[in-house]
Chains A and B, each alone.
Chain A
Amino acid sequence: MNIRHIPIIEAQTFSAEVLARFDKELAKYPADQKQSAVIACLSIVQQVHGHVSPEGEKAVAQYLGMPVMAVHEVSTFYNMFNLKPVGRYKINVCTNLPCQLRGGQKAIHYLCEKLQVEVGGTTTDGLFTLQPGECMGACADAPVLLVNDRSMCSFMTDDKLDQMIDGLRTATKEPS
């Protein structure tokens, strides 16, 4: 039997700004219930670093004083966490029934064609990851999609999808 080398995972280092945001979340909960802030902290890590890595999980675990495995249970349970790197813009298109009735499926197929990517895939330039999504609670605005978890876009007809993708491409090229 081979004894496999198990890599030691170093905890990720976070900026002062990220830590300040962690503190703000932590302040909402009783001092002995720091774990309550885990979803918020992981989502901040994802917003800043693009995905939640094992190193990120370890750092959050240390910060909240909880086992790394308990953090991993959370990051694997909640669908919006990226456990692997994704494109610069992760697009989740809602395809649930109310959206399906108003062009949700059509929107995701249109994006597949436009971006030359399969559902679940990332464009070769690393800019866009396209994923289906479940109900986002915006059924009257169908078709709806989320960009990088935090920006919801409503009434996404083909014209608007074009406008959005082209706009994101341009905004990426221009230094802000």
Chain B
Amino acid sequence: MNLDQVLAQFQSSGAQSCFHGRHVQPQIYAGLDGKNWHLKDYEARGGYQALRTILGMHGAEGMTQDQVIATMKESGLRGRGGAGFPTGLKWSFMPRQFPGQKYLVCNSDEGEPGTCKDRDILEFNPHIVIEGMAIAAYAMGISVGYNYIHGEIFQTYDRFEEALEEARAAGYLGDKIMGSPFNFQLHAAHGFGAYICGEETALLESLEGKKGQPRFKPPFPASFGVYGKPTTINNTETFAAVPWIIRNGGPAYLACGKPNNGGTKIFSVSGDVEHPGNYEVPMGTSFAKLLELAGGVRGGRQLKAVIPGGSSAPVLPASIMMDITMDYDAIAKAGSMLGSGAVIVMDDTRCMVKSLQRLSAFYMHESCGQCTPCREGTGWLWRIVDRLENGQGKAADMDLLDSVAENIMGRTICALGDAAAMPVRGMLKHFRPEFEHHITHKTCMVSAYT
């Protein structure tokens, strides 16, 4: 075997993470098998019909920009990257009459620990993102777009480049798309290992070929984005939701989920479950159901805690999780956030101090260094949690942890500072006795963690 053949043996096929047949009413992952990602397969699934519809290719009149944006507003689609901002509203902020170049950007810099949904979309259904972006570009009068893909998933990047070639050859991208006056050029770009570039303004800096240090807002990207030009940025899954909405209408999408929480959502379930993977389910599905889809807690053990929206979201104990539904509003009400939809499950053998130690190391490592509270504070947090974990904690450390977290929150240019502080506060809120045990007994309450 040559080098490529050796490594190819270990490449993920998606069988476990995506083609397990346990999605519920899927839209984005529907009908995928890993081989049918090509343009012809996508067309056979009804792909590019939505783009044809808005461009008036079916003898009908097509849709105006206002109609497309109104449909998006009706759908209740909210940004799938983490913030949950209403997509239709975001699109309406784009100054469509701006005379210069405007840009559309897809944020595929999927690095929030726990999240792996966009990789499977781009790898196994890349054209759905291309079509979604083309529709968005049409609605906002944009002629150039970039898809910024996480640097660690080069195979996915190559796949997306291939899909772009197919779409160009078929006339779905380029000048005068399908014979209409609409032009849209779409390109793929990649990062190279910087979590912070998932933050939208850091991503813009990176796309300009600079260090990925976030920009102060305002001005927002809608007025000052890539190269200082008006720019709209959405997450991969957000764009992937668009074709279905155009084909079936806003109200149908909204009806899939709950009021104010439209559609399906892909949850990346990781950690202590039997079948980790991506699960596309209607928004508002109960956590208990999601856990069941993922095969339940591994080894029949007890559920202890769940980080419901990526590592930046505050942890919630099992007692709360088993009673809530998976949607923006329900999780926010429970004191955490839906974030990117990454559900990290921890069983009763897990030490929360050790878990927080690892997360704090991550945020310290990934702080871009621009704002003092984050650059210094993330180091403080890690040092305190690290000594707690190693049995060297002091009684005053509990208050110190709280104080450092408090002093990072809201005092930085971007949300990375908050993202480092929120897990700390969540852990202290729900698992304080474990931390105190580490201080008084110099050892763990649970011992089986390896």
Contact = CB atoms under 8 A, between A and B. Distances in A.
B111 A138 contact: no
Given A96-B362, A140-B17, A35 B209 contact: yes
Contacts, number: 208
A81 interface: yes
B190 A39 contact: yes
Given A138-B119, A138-B153, A139-B342, A35 B208 contact: yes
A135 interface: yes
Nearest to A30: B227
Contacts of A97: 113-114, 271, 307, 311, 344, 355, 358-359, 362
Contacts of B366: 134
A133 B212 CA distance: 18
Interface in A34-93: 34-40, 42-43, 64, 66, 70, 73-74, 77-81
B12 A141 contact: yes
A122 to B, nearest CB: 18
Contact of A39 (B5, B209, B355): B209
A156 B10 contact: yes
A170 interface: yes
B192 A98 contact: no
Interface string B187-200: 11111111100000
B10 A154 contact: yes
Contact of A153 (B7, B118, B362): B7
Contact of A154 (B11, B111, B154): B11
Given A74-B209, A98-B342, A101-B272, 7 more contacts: A81-B193, A97-B307, A101-B270, A137-B115, A140-B278, A152-B154, A153-B7
B60 to A, nearest CB: 34
A99 B16 CA distance: 16
Interface in B1-25: 1-3, 5-7, 9-12, 16-17
A168 B10 CA distance: 12
Given A102-B271, A151-B155, A167-B9, A134 B362 contact: yes
B152 A140 contact: no
A173 to B, nearest CB: 11
B22 to A, nearest CB: 13
Nearest to A29: B187
B418 interface: no
Interface in B266-303: 268-272, 276-278
A78 B190 CA distance: 12
A152 B12 contact: yes
A152 B17 CA distance: 15
A30 to B, nearest CB: 7
Contacts of A116: none
Contacts of A140: 16-17, 116, 268-270, 276-278
With most chain B CB atoms within 10 A of its CB, the pick from A30, A42, A97, A134 is A97
Contacts of A81: 192-193
Interface of B: 1-3, 5-7, 9-12, 16-17, 101, 110-116, 118-119, 146, 150-155, 187-195, 206-212, 227, 268-272, 276-278, 307, 311, 342, 344-346, 350, 355, 358-359, 362, 365-366, 368, 450
A164 interface: yes
Given A96-B113, A134-B365, A136-B153, A176 B3 contact: yes
Contacts of B110: 137
B312 to A, nearest CB: 11
A21 to B, nearest CB: 12
Interface stretch (A1-9, A10-18, A142-150): A142-150
A176 B4 CA distance: 10
19 contacts: A30-B227, A33-B227, A78-B151, A79-B192, A80-B192, A96-B311, A97-B355, A134-B193, A135-B311, A136-B152, A137-B118, A137-B150, A137-B153, A140-B277, A141-B16, A141-B17, A141-B276, A164-B7, A171-B5
A78 B192 contact: yes
A43 B194 CA distance: 14
B368 to A, nearest CB: 8
A101 B6 contact: no
A27 to B, nearest CB: 9
Given A134-B366, A153-B7, A167-B1, A139 B114 contact: yes
B192 A150 contact: no
B346 A135 contact: no
Contacts of A135: 111-115, 195, 311, 362
B1 A150 contact: no
Contacts of A139: 113-116, 268, 270, 276, 342, 344
A141 B207 CA distance: 28
A141 B191 CA distance: 21
A139 B266 CA distance: 14
A62 to B, nearest CB: 15
A123 interface: no
A25 B64 CA distance: 34
Nearest to B276: A140
Contacts of A33: 208-209, 227
Chain B CB within 10 A, most for which of A36, A105, A136, A140:
A140
A114 interface: no
Contacts of B211: 73-74, 77
A43 B359 CA distance: 28
B151 to A, nearest CB: 6
A73 B211 CA distance: 6
